[in-house]
Chain A
Amino acid sequence: MKTIAITGKGGTGKTAVAALLIKYLTEGDNTILAIDADPDTNLPAALGDTVEKTVGEMRESLLEERDELPPDIDKKSLLEGKIYSVLVERPRYDLLVMGRPEGPGCYCYANDLLRGIMDRIVKNYEITIIDTAAGLEHLSRGIIRDVTDLLVVTDGSRRGLETAERIRDLVAELDLKIDNLYVVLNKVTDTNRERLQEYANELDLKVVGMIPFDDNIARFDLEGLPLAGLPEDSLSVIEVAKIAEKIGL
């Protein structure tokens, strides 16, 4: 059982990497749980799925209706049922979208229930892939726990790598106990390749893969096509498969 979280600054292509990783893994014998933990919610479109309801909305509906419920109803079981009802079931993978962030009220209890439910759900899958924003919100609250590997995707910019450095600090600060933290350099070209690798070395960041700038991705993005449908010979598809092997998937 492995849980891989993919994060990075907005626009670096972290969702593309997550989608391609899921694509690669579902071609094997594994059963995957895909979690979109970014409030921007791009993973479903990248996979070609539509999602109607999110975990956040289910948590909210529990909080809204709680005073009208039978007083002795088991709220954990109720929330668990609600979350199962929003899980998108696809061949070889299931997709869960976390959705909206918390409102101003108190989420201590609802999140405590959710933590237990997420622990139970994750146990049913060999691999869990999480697409999460750089703030690592659901990880920091412990809603999703026991992440084994964290992949920070950066683009061809210095700032992308600086984000990776900050995420490393955040992981230490939050005491997240992640086994491995890797950097995936994305949109790499012949002109920036060497300099990026050097800078990563300076920051003591471990680069696990370099995904070349891929015209196919640019074309799919422009046409609004799901990236999971990228041709097998696309540069990015080939490189993501190598990354998966390197991190033991």
Chain B
Amino acid sequence: MAEEFPFEMSPMYEGERIRKDDLYVELAGPKSKGFELVRSADMSEVEDGKVTLIGPDLKDMEEGSTYPFAMIYRIAGEGVEPDIESIVERRNHDFQNYIQGYMHLNQRYDIWVRISKAAVEKGLESLKQIAEATMMMFKNELPFIEKIEATYITDLAEVEKELEEAKKVYEARDARTRDLHDEDVDTFYGCTLCQSFAPTNVCVVTPDRVSLCGAINWFDGRAAAKVDPEGPQFPIEKGEVIDEIGGEYSGVNEAAVRLSGGMYDRIKLHSFFEYPHTSCGCFEVVGFYMPEVDGIGWVDRDFKGTAPNGLPFSTMAGQTGGGRQVVGFLGIGINYFRSPKFLQADGGWKKVVWMPKALKDKVSDSIPESIAVATEEDATDIESLKKFLIEKKHPVVETWTAEEEEEEKKEEAAPAAAPAEGAAPPSGIPTVAPMQMPSMTVSGGSGGGLKIVLSNAKITVDKIIVKKKE
């Protein structure tokens, strides 16, 4: 098939850069306008193989100059539906880069194309040849496309007109993409980029949970895992749903065991108090539980002061980081505040009592109007925070009285009873694991009991006595 074209097509030309010296023409890019768009259509609406060019063709173009450029493909087939448009559109970049002497960068309205002098010397004379070659690759590689036709535009007015239409399509697509949730997919993605500093970190990226560093969303994980499934981002099959609200899945738990070297076997993606996500050290924001108000405060890396608990970001980050699951502290990416599942196991925003003003302003659109979150302007310590919360009728205040009553009742019933070990928070005080050495971590699980993991340990002991506390 390739013999028809005066150029070669092969993955080996991917990443081929066309320098200014070697340039015949530049299309779209930072100095001009353009876009690429794939639309699905009915079988009857698409004339297979047809190419329409609106505007000057290569041979009419002045060497060394830049022209606007739009590529619109209409595809049809039994398996073709609007949802796959963006996936097919992304492949235009791959296929066109297989063409020798043709460079394609970016996507959507940021596309940037260069055609080399050498390609023109070898016989490339029309953009129609590029369109035909690209469509051939589309059909070969994506057999569900039964019919495809292309419209290429190099006329500025026409590009501008069609660009407005294209932008509407992109916006509608983005709205659909933002509406994707954990329950809509079978696969989450893991990332091990942080494991060099946080060897037991289990980073799980889902549609409703961005990575702790804030840089990787579910789509980034999917894109990277597709290119290199053995790379730092890889798929995690969800498996069975164990706790839908808390976000616990059998597949995630299995991955947790594998990624943490056996340190953790349960993770609830949307919980602060029960088997929370591990915290790496790269997280953008750290959350901290304040038992005095039964609420969670958040502090981000950019905040230089101390939180109402008296600690700055750096101290809490140090206590939390390293890939550990620490009940009472949690590292997250800023975009997780915008998730509809934000800590839904704990009541979400109803538990949030404090955050620095700059951070609050960033995510203010996601904070329910009924909830007043204090900032450093309202409260700098526990006392002033309590006052603020009472004054603003924050939902946590209701839990205070309920708890006090409960405690009183308890005291009446069994005044001497000691609280059960590992009692489930939120009534528990956040404690950093009591015995910590570089190669040894002991953490009280919230289900009671104790787990000890020793890795690469050499221990010599004459005698150990373990006694139940009288």
> Footprint of B on A, CB under 8 Å?
31, 63, 66-67, 70-78, 80-81, 84-85, 89, 91-92, 94, 104-106, 108-110, 112, 120-121, 123-124
Give B215-229 as 1s and 0s: 1 = Cβ < 8 Å from A's Cβ atoms.
Answer: 111111001100000
A67 and B177 within 8 A (CB):
no
Docked complex Cα distance between A74 and B90 (Å)? 9
Expressed in whole angstroms, the Cα–Cα distance for A124 and B17 within the complex equals 6
Contacts of B215 in A (CB 8 A): 63, 66, 106, 108-110
- The contact of A85 among B30, B108, B211, B301, by CB within 8 Å, is B30
A43 → chain B closest CB, angstroms: 19
Convert B268-288 into 0s and 1s, putting 1 for each residue whose CB lies closer than 8 angstroms to a CB of A.
000000000000001110000
B residues sitting closer than 8 Å to A (CB atoms) are: 15-17, 19-21, 30, 86, 90, 93, 105-108, 110, 112, 170, 173-174, 177-178, 180, 191, 193-194, 211, 213-220, 223-224, 232, 282-284, 301-302, 334-335, 338
Q: Across the interface, name the chain B residue whose C-beta is closest to A63.
A: B215
> How far is the CB of A65 from the nearest CB of chain B, in Å?
12
Q: Could you name 8 residue pairs across A and B whose Cβ atoms are closer than 8 Å?
A: A67-B334, A71-B177, A71-B218, A85-B30, A92-B21, A106-B213, A106-B214, A106-B284
Would A77 and B106 count as touching, CB distance under 8 A? yes
Contact between A72 and B86, CB atoms less than 8 A apart: yes
- How many angstroms from the CA of A112 to the CA of B228 in the assembled complex? 13
A89 to B334 CA separation, bound complex (whole angstroms):
38
Kindly state the separation between the CA atoms of A112 and B193 in the bound complex, as whole angstroms: 8
Q: Are B213 and A108 in contact (CB under 8 A)?
A: yes
Report Cα–Cα, A63/B335, bound state, in Å.
12
A78 contact set on B, CB distance < 8 A? 106-107, 110
In Å, the complex CA distance between A224 and B105 comes to: 37
B174 lies within 8 A of A81 (CB): no
Additional A-B contact list (4), CB under 8 Å, known A67-B338, A109-B215:
A31-B19, A71-B177, A72-B86, A75-B220
Contact present for A70 and B177 (CB under 8 Å): yes
Chain B residue at minimal CB-CB distance from A70? B174
**Chain A neighbourhood of B105, CB < 8 A:** 77, 80-81, 84
A75–B107 Cα distance when bound, in Å, is 10
Residues in chain B near residue A94, CB distance under 8 A: 19
Q: Chain B residue with minimal CB distance to A108?
A: B193
Most A Cβ at <10 Å: residue of B20, B93, B106, B218: B106
Taking a contact as CB atoms under 8 Å apart, the answer to whether B193 and A71 are in contact is no
A177 to chain B, nearest CB (A): 19
Contacts of B194 in A (CB 8 A): 106, 108
When C-beta atoms are compared, the residue in chain A nearest to B300 turns out to be A105
Name the distance in Å between B170's Cβ and chain A's nearest Cβ. 7
A109 contacts B193, C-beta separation under 8 Å: yes
Residues in B whose Cβ lies below 8 Å from that of A73: 107-108, 219
Complex Cα–Cα for A19 and B417 (A): 79
In the complex, are the beta carbons of A81 and B112 less than 8 A apart? Answer: yes
Contact of A72 among B177, B282, B338 (CB under 8 A): B177
Q: How far is the CA of A84 from the CA of B105 in the complex (A)?
A: 9
- Of the residues A66, A74, A84, A92, contact of B107 by C-beta under 8 Å: A74
Q: Do A66 and B106 form a contact, CB below 8 Å, given A74-B223, A112-B232? A: no
Q: Collect the chain B residues with CB atoms within 8 Å of residue A74's CB.
A: 90, 93, 107, 223
Q: Which residues of B contact A121 (CB under 8 A)?
A: 15, 17
Known: A91-B21, A108-B282. A81 touches B106 (CB 8 A): yes
Contacts of A66 in B (CB 8 A): 214-215
Complex Cα gap A5–B86 (Å): 41
- The answer to whether A109 touches B177, judged by C-beta atoms less than 8 angstroms apart, is no
A31-B17 Cα distance, complex, nearest whole Å: 12
Q: Within 8 Å CB of B211, what residues of A?
A: 109
A81 to B174, CA, bound (A): 21
Known A108-B215, A124-B15; judge A77-B107 contact (CB<8 A): yes
With a 10 A CB-CB cut-off, give which of B16, B173, B214, B334 has the most chain A CB atoms. B214
Contacts of B110 in A (CB 8 A): 78, 81
Residue in A63, A70, A76, A109 with the greatest tally of chain B CB atoms within 10 Å = A109
CB <8 Å contact, B93 and A109: no
A71–B282 Cα distance when bound, in Å, is 21
A75 to B233, CA, bound (A): 14
- In the complex, which residues of chain B have a beta carbon less than 8 angstroms from the beta carbon of A85? 30, 112
Interface centre among A80, A89, A108 (most CB of B within 10 A): A108
- Bound-state Cα–Cα, A201 to B108, Å: 59
Complex contact A67–B335 (CB within 8 A): yes
B223: A residues at CB distance < 8 A = 72, 74-76
> Separation in Å of the B165 CB from the closest CB of chain A?
17
Q: Which residues of A contact B20 (CB under 8 A)?
A: 89
Complex CA gap A84/B29 in Å reads: 10
Q: Considering the chains assembled together, what is the distance between the CA atoms of A94 and B17 in angstroms? A: 11
Question: Which residues of chain A have C-beta atoms less than 8 A from B106's C-beta?
Answer: 77-78, 80-81
Identify A105's interface contact among B112, B216, B301, CB under 8 A.
B301
Greatest chain A CB density within 10 A among B86, B173, B213, B215 is at B215
Cα A72 to Cα B216 in complex, Å, equals 11
In the assembled complex, the Cα of A75 lies from the Cα of B282 at a distance in Å of 19
Alpha-carbon separation in the docked complex, A80 to B216 (Å): 17
By the criterion CB–CB under 8 Å, are A109 and B213 in contact? yes
A77-B105, A81-B105, A91-B21 in contact; A70/B170 too (CB < 8 A)?
yes
| Alpha-carbon gap, A109 to B212, bound state (A) | 11
CA distance A75 to B174 in the complex (A): 15
The distance in angstroms between the C-alpha atoms of A206 and B427, with both chains bound, is 68
Ranked nearest first, the 10 interchain pairs of A and B with the lowest CB-CB distance are A106-B282, A109-B215, A106-B213, A89-B20, A72-B219, A81-B106, A120-B15, A108-B193, A124-B17, A81-B105
Q: List A contacts of B220 (CB < 8 A).
A: 75, 109
Q: How far is the CB of B317 from chain A (nearest CB, A)?
A: 11
Give the chain A neighbours of B17 by CB distance below 8 A.
84, 121, 124
Chain A residue, CB-CB nearest to B196: A108
Name the CB-closest residue of A to B302. A104
